[in-house]
Structure formats: C-alpha cells, structure tokens
Amino acid sequence: MLAAREEKAIEIIYDNYSAAIFGVIFRIIQDKEIAEDVFQETCIKIWHNSLQYDSSKGRLFTWMINIARHLAIDKIRSKDFRGSLKNQSLENIVNSNMEGKSSDSTNPELVGLKLLVEKLEPEQKSIIDLLYFGGFTQEEVSEKLAIPLGTVKTRSRNALLSLRKQFDVAEKYT
C-alpha cells in the first residue's frame, strides 16, 4: 500500500507510528518546534522513498525509525542548529526542556520503546541511549565511555538483537 503511494497508507502510518517516530526525534533534538519540522521531513522522506523499503531486510517500523533518527542527527549536527543553540538564552533552554519533559504526546515511554530499552543489560542500555537517543556515532560512544570501538559495535548489535526479541514478544500480546 505504501509502495503504491496510496493516501490511506500514510494515514495508517501516522495513526500507528507518529508518536514513536516523533518521540525518537524529540529525544534527540529536545526542541519541540524543530522536532516537529524534522517529523514533517521524516514523513515526506518516508513517502518519497517508499519504494526503497525492503521487507526482507527488516520491519517497516525499524526502517521509519531509522529515517527519523538519521534526519534528527543530521539536524543536530548542522551548523544552523548549533548556531541557534549558541543564540538561545539559558532561560529559553530551560523552558524548552521543561516543556518537553511534561508533554505526554512526545514521550517515547508511552509507546513502550523506553520500557524495552530499560530491560537491557546496563552496558547495552548506555550504548543504545547514546547511539539512538543521544545521536552519538559509534566512534563518539567509544570515546565517551572509554571503551574500544569493537566493543561498542558488539554491544550495540547484541542490544538490538535483544530489543528485536523483546519487540516480537510485545507484539504478540498487543
């Protein structure tokens, strides 16, 4: 349906996945207005790249989350975004963070994503938090945690395999 670009497909995706997608974006960007823009870019990219999705390589949800995560990371690494942070007053930063923490609609915990991550081993959880919610690269995680890059890669792969198993179990009961 998505590959055929039927309008109903984007409605279904929005109804079922928008909270999770926006939650991932907001967790990385932590600015509601910018996160909304990136969410819109994500929806457009999902729509335009729908022919690139290959179900044999993974789930639609994972594919969409990866698009959202990559766009959010690209945004926080952009010069415009970093420049805007330098221009914000401390009060604005605190207020935007407080608003973000209280918004129920942007909280990934409501869609169970954070709950699944919490079940990981502590060393896996810290890596996933930095990679997927913090927007760090594997090299940056290696430096930040002072562990070899190979260890970061192994732990992140094992964490993703564990999350996949947890997600499969959770899907069976929903």
What are the structural domains of the chain? 1-108 (1.10.1740.10), 112-174 (1.10.10.10)
At 161-174, the pLDDT tens digits run: 888 887 666 555 54
User: What is the pTM for the complete model shown?
Assistant: 0.51
Q: What is the token pair recorded at 50?
A: 């729908």
Distance CA 80, CA 37 (A): 14
Q: Give the HSE-up count for residue 14: Cα atoms under 13 Å, Cβ half-sphere.
A: 10
Give the model's pLDDT for residue 105.
Answer: 43
Cα angle 9, 168, 50 (rounded to 5 degrees) comes to 25
By the 10 Å C-beta count (0-12 exposed, 13-18 middle, 19+ buried), 46 is classed as: buried
Give the model's pLDDT for residue 67.
Answer: 94
Distance CA 64, CA 55 (A): 12
At 69-121, the pLDDT tens digits run: 999 999 988 866 655 554 444 444 444 444 444 444 444 444 566 777 788 88
